[in-house]
Amino acid sequence: MTPTLLGRIQTRILLFGSVGAIVSFPFGAAGLLVLFVALILGMLWDILYNVIQKLRWDRDWPAALQLAAGVWEGLVLLALFPGIFNLWHYSLVWLSVFIASQSVMRLMFPRWRFRGGRWL
C-alpha cells in the first residue's frame, strides 16, 4: 500500500486506537499515555514523511522506511519520557500495528489499499 497523508493519519488513528490500545492495557496508565503522545506526535511526523515521500520517484513508502520511522519515533518518545518509556511496550505496539496494517486492514477494508490508507 502506498500511503497518502490523509491515509497515513486515518490508519494511524484507527490502528493506535484499536490494536495499539489493546496491547497497551497491560502496561497501565503509563502505557496509554505514551501511546496517546505517540499518536499525536505521529500525526505531525506523518506530515514530514509525506514530504520525504514526494522526493522519491515512485512516491512509495517501503516497509523498511516504515521500520526506520518507528525507530526514530521511539527515540523521540524515549527523550520525552525517559522515566516511563518501555521498550517492550513500544516494540509491541509497533509490531502489532505493522502486522495489522499488512493483513487485517486489507481484509476488512477492501478499498483501503487503493485509497492510500483511507478507510473512511
Binding site for other proteins (CB under 8 A): 1-5, 53-60, 62-65, 67, 102-104, 106-111, 113-116
| Position 7, amino acid | G
Place of cell 515512485: 58
Nearer to other proteins, 1 or 30 (CB): 1
Q: How far is the CB of 25 from other proteins (least distance, A)?
A: 24
Q: What is the dihedral of CA 72, 77, 80, 82, to 10 degrees?
A: -110
CA distance 6 to 17: 16
CA distance 119 to 85: 30
Q: How far is the CB of 56 from other proteins (least distance, A)?
A: 6
Nearer to other proteins, 22 or 80 (CB): 22
Q: How far is the CB of 88 from other proteins (least distance, A)?
A: 22
